[in-house]
Structure 1
Amino acid sequence: MTGTDGELSALQDLLSQSQSALQAPENVAYLTQLSSLPLSDLLATPAALTTQSHTITSSLTALTHTSYPTFLSLHKSSTALHDSLSSLDSSLNTLLDTALPALDDAARVFREKSGPSVIEERQKTRVVLEQQDKLRDLLDIPILIDTCVRNGLYSEALTLAAHATNVLVALCTLHSKEEEYMSSSLQLTRSLQGEMASSLHSMQLLLLNTLFESSKKLPALWKAVQFLRRMQAMSEDELALTFASARIECLRNRENQLDRQADDVSRFLKRYIDAWREGAYDIITQYTTIFLERSHAGGPLASTSAAQPNPVIKQTLLPTLLSLLLPPLRTHLGRAYPHLAPLSTQLAYCSSAMARVGMDFRALLSRLITQAVVDGFTRDLRMGPDREWNVTLSKYASSKNKSAAPSTWLVSAVQPLPSLSTLVAQSSAPAHVPPELLTSFPPLAISLNAYLRALNKLRLLAPFDAVNGVISALESSLSKTGQELFTYAMECGASDKELDILRAVGAAYARVMVPFLRRAVVEGVFGVPNTSQADGDKMIHTMSGSREDNALEIVLQKWENWLGDGT
């Protein structure tokens, strides 16, 4: 019992010295197990524990002898770990005391210096991300506008441009309150507006080029002008002036394509007049429809701009168109004298058609046609009677050679010489029937036939305004013929018989041929009735001038004086 009590006291002392050990879960479980064991087991426990202790001690001793290198290495590692932990502790103390405050100061300085720019870039990036869809649409719009312009979709191009402008204005308004965004927004706006302006400028050039195409008619021109109005690239006056200039240039190019050097002048004039009539009529009707009548058309743009172009443009348009027609007519109309009748009919139709659109120029045509008739008739006289008479005189009455006797060429050998009393004009005879007395004088008959051929051409187109010019040309030709014949009579130096022939020829010229041709012009060509020879002479004198200034009257007076002296 004494031994048992000693062991118990020793156990109690052990347990009292290690209160913390008793609180360990495994010790509590062991003590609980001990309290549940029977006495025999409890008595055998010390011996079992002693045996286990000796066993463990033997095992540890054996382990120490067999694994001492491991223990040495473990000791060395433990020492190194202790040193490392000490170094780590000093390093951490240094970091906490020195490095971290310095890092905090450096971070604060960095934030103060670069923080605003980083924040600004971040805010810009955020704005870009928020407006990404709108920006993508805006960046695609210039390409879409250019594609629409290239494919002729002008309405869609203008719609896209208007949409882009509205979006850009909205973006600028959104960011105008934040000054830091203004620079980038304005830069983007300027870039997009520049690209759109380039595409719209190309569109404007294409639309203006449409106005210069001769093949374009009113619908295409109307659309082009409407698009130009929507673009507001120019004022209404500038647009109207551009349209008129473009269409006039088209008409001028079309007329320049005609062969002005063609031999057939009448065919050239016919084609030229037709081209001018069609072009001028189209220009006036197109200008009136597009610029003057658009307020009555009821279109979508009719109410947006009621301003009409300056009336001066319409007033100057008509003279400009006439300047394309009248100069070629003045130049070529006289050369087309044999075909003046159909050309005058064509010009009358042209002037009537243009009068329906407010362009009546018939008064100007009358002067041109009259002058062309006079010039053509004068040229016929020069190329016909005058040339034949010059050929005859050069053959028989040349100044270089001795002149032939009057009986050899002035009178007919098969007909008797008429007396002077019979050589008078018959006022009762028809104006278109030549006197038979002149058949006794072949040179005069040949000359009369040449005059009648010229008068027959004149009858195809004989405007009454040309009567003065025609009579003047006829009298000029007759005066030249009479003067040359009178000079031959004065210089011939013939015998009395030859002088009688010269007097008969002079009387036939002065009293028969000249009055007949005058009547042929006044009555036969222009249809002015004369009741008597005196009335006819009075009308001739009124149209051709006074007797003192008229060369033919002077020549006739010379012949009458010479004939009177001879009788």
Structure 2
Amino acid sequence: MEFSDKMDLENERVLKLIFPDGVPENLRGNPELDNYLSKLGTCKVEQLKKEQTRLADEARSILEQTQDLAISNYKTFITTAENSRSIFSEFLRTEEQLATLVGQLPALSERCEGFLKDSAELSEQRRLNSITLQKNAQLLEVLELPQLMERCIREGRYEEALELAAYATRLGQHQGHIPVVKSIVRSVEALWHTMLVQLVAQLRTDLQLPKCLQIVGYLRRMQAFGDNELRLKFLQARDAWLNSCLEAIPKSDAQQHLIKTIEITRINLFNIITQYRAIFPEDEPASKVAQAPLKPLQGVSCNGDRLFQAWLHNKINAFLETLQRDLQLGVGSVETVLGQCMYFGLSFSRVGADFRALMAPIFVDVIRRRFEASVDEVNVQFERELDRFTLINKVALHLHSRKQVDPDQESFAPPETLLDFYPLAALCNGYLGALNELRLCAPLALATDVARCLERSLHLAAQRVLAFYRQEQQAFAGSEREAFIRLCSCLAYDLVPYVQRCIHGVFSPQALTVHLGISLLQLEQQQLTYLQQARILEPLKHLLPTKVLVQSQVQASEVPSAEAKPSAASAVAAEG
């Protein structure tokens, strides 16, 4: 180690001697220089003196050799030079390209980093796609939830549709942040509302109790309505269906429309009440509620019952309006309609809604109006017949037909004396037609009204007979005056008592006393169903002989009781 250091020191000294201005650049680091310096270090002085000459000779020899070599191998030198020049130019171009490459390396690095990032994302997506492919069946089940629920709703499989809706709700609660899941949940919610509308619409159709229970069960599970809202929706839907059934009834024939309305209302309304009470049963019996302590109003337990009662009251009122309207339009057989209506009201007593008492005034009013209209027609007919009537050549054919008989044996045959005077006979026939029509359905509540109506009609007939007398009296001959007196006597002593007997034939005094709880004497004193003959005959009292007036007072106090009994329909209406 010390020897090498010593040699280096000597070489440096030699270099300073040889190159006082410093070692040229081309010789620095050349290993031959070190070897040559070591060789010079071993030479003697004489050799050193000759070294310059030797070097010059060697350089000249090398130059000559080089020249000879170049001359003998000039082609090679030319090729080498050209190759060197070409290599140099290539090196320059390579250097330029390398410089360009170095300038583009940062962008390439950035792109490589972006590629690495994109490739990582693509790799992640590929992994997710692989997982998606593996879970394809489960994903299809989730994606097809809306279509599956729509199919279930369309085919009426509401149980499965509710399960699918519940599953979609749970899925939205756990995975609602996923857009696809959110879209599925929205679609299922829209179908849920469609199912709700469809279930409510089914309540507007003809349903039996099991189907109603099933539909309301689905609505309860959907929890779309509260208890009172569900009751209201149920009643609205069933009411719409009942109204549609009633509107479908033809209205051309009032009686057929009314009979069909009674039948449809009775059957369907009873079914709706049964369905409502089965679907919404009372929570506690009335006895337990009565014994329970008072609590503040909550607006829940009682509103449902009040709602149902109000709806039922509304439907009964609607039926009563229809009944009154159709009866006013005119029906052929009131007793038939009355019987069906009473059966209708009686059947509803099983559900605590007996409304027969509400129908009785309607029938009573309609029967009264029809009877009054019939009597008005009789009055008009009597006036026309009296205008055409004449007393000329009127012979007494039934002079001795009026005779006293036992009241209990009197029949309801009209007096034969009326045949002498056609207007009185027509008036009597008109009364009999109206009473016969009334007798088929004669409510006891109309007994007084019928008596007063006939009393007014007879009083009007007496006034018209008086007007006839004032118009024709100046032209009366003796026979005509006697005929007119017989006309007045026939009206006063044959027609009026006969009409009284017919009234008691329709409204038996015994039935009235039982119904009113009074005696026959009180019935007569109150003038119930009794004609006031003095008022009726007041226009003709100055034309009747005095003895006849006395006899009329006796007959008025001895009017026999009727043999006929009121019909069953009249008794039912009177009780109503």
TM-score with structure 1 length normalisation?
Answer: 0.67
Distance 2:93 2:534 in 1: 151
Which residue number in structure 2 is paired with residue 34 of structure 1? none
Counterpart check, 1:475 vs 2:455: yes
Q: 1:450 aligns with which of 417, 427, 430?
A: 430
Distance 2:508 2:78 in 1: 159
Q: 1:541 is matched by which residue type in structure 2?
A: Q
Counterpart check, 1:233 vs 2:224: yes
Alignment of 1:14-413 (within 5 A): 100=105, 136-172=140-176, 185=177, 187-213=179-205, 215-262=206-253, 265-292=254-281, 310-334=304-328, 336=330, 338-383=332-377, 385-396=378-389, 404=390, 406-408=391-393, 413=396
Distance 2:525 2:75 in 1: 165
Structure 1 pair 436/186, CA: closer, same or farther in 2 (3 Å)? same
SS in 2 for 1:202: helix
Structure 1 pair 269/76, CA: closer, same or farther in 2 (3 Å)? same
CA deviations over 1:352-388 (Å, ceiling 9, x no partner): 11221221101012112212221222233233x3343
Higher RCO by CA contacts (8 Å cutoff, separation 6 or greater) = 2
Distance 2:237 2:272 in 1: 10
Unaligned runs of 5+ in 1: 1-64, 173-184, 297-305, 397-403
Q: 1:390 is matched by which residue type in structure 2?
A: E
1:327 Cα shift? Answer: 1.5
1:335 Cα shift? Answer: 5.2
Q: 1:287 is matched by which residue type in structure 2?
A: Y
Which residue number in structure 1 is paired with residue 498 of structure 2? 516
Q: Is the 8 A contact 2:485 2:544 kept in 1?
A: yes
1:127 Cα shift? Answer: 7.5
Distance 1:564 1:337 in 2: 47
Q: 2:320 is matched by which residue type in structure 1?
A: L
Structure 1 pair 347/74, CA: closer, same or farther in 2 (3 Å)? farther
Structure 1 pair 526/83, CA: closer, same or farther in 2 (3 Å)? same
TM-score with structure 2 length normalisation?
Answer: 0.66
Q: Please, which moves more after superposition, 245-254 or 117-126?
A: 117-126
Distance 1:243 1:544 in 2: 55
Distance 2:451 2:119 in 1: 104
Which residue number in structure 1 is paired with residue 524 of structure 2? 538
Structure 1 pair 538/387, CA: closer, same or farther in 2 (3 Å)? same
Unaligned runs of 5+ in 2: 1-71, 286-299, 514-519, 549-576
Q: Is the 8 A contact 2:364 2:446 kept in 1?
A: yes
Distance 1:423 1:407 in 2: 26
Distance 1:342 1:206 in 2: 42
1:515 Cα shift? Answer: 2.4
Which residue number in structure 2 is paired with residue 554 of structure 1? 535
Q: 2:361 is matched by which residue type in structure 1?
A: R
Structure 1 pair 469/76, CA: closer, same or farther in 2 (3 Å)? farther
CA deviations over 1:408-431 (Å, ceiling 9, x no partner): 4xx55534377xxx6889755536
SS in 1 for 2:144: helix
Q: 1:393 is matched by which residue type in structure 2?
A: L
Which residue number in structure 2 is paired with residue 563 of structure 1? 544
1:119 Cα shift? Answer: 9.0
Structure 1 pair 155/560, CA: closer, same or farther in 2 (3 Å)? same
SS in 1 for 2:544: helix
Q: 2:543 is matched by which residue type in structure 1?
A: W
Q: Is the 8 A contact 1:335 1:376 kept in 2?
A: no
Structure 1 pair 476/119, CA: closer, same or farther in 2 (3 Å)? farther
Structure 1 pair 539/149, CA: closer, same or farther in 2 (3 Å)? farther
1:315 Cα shift? Answer: 0.9
SS in 1 for 2:509: coil
1:484 Cα shift? Answer: 0.7
1:227 Cα shift? Answer: 1.7
Q: Is the 8 A contact 1:337 1:376 kept in 2?
A: no
Q: Please, which moves more after superposition, 225-234 or 83-92?
A: 83-92
Alpha carbon RMSD of aligned pairs, Å? 4.3
CA deviations over 1:11-52 (Å, ceiling 9, x no partner): xxxxxxxxxxxxxxxxxxxxxxxxxxxxxxxxxxxxxxxxxx
Q: 1:353 is matched by which residue type in structure 2?
A: S
Q: Is the 8 A contact 1:139 1:192 kept in 2?
A: yes
Q: 1:482 is matched by which residue type in structure 2?
A: A
Distance 2:526 2:395 in 1: 31
Q: 2:321 is matched by which residue type in structure 1?
A: P
Q: Is the 8 A contact 1:340 1:461 kept in 2?
A: yes
Structure 1 pair 337/375, CA: closer, same or farther in 2 (3 Å)? farther
Q: Please, which moves more after superposition, 440-449 or 130-139?
A: 130-139
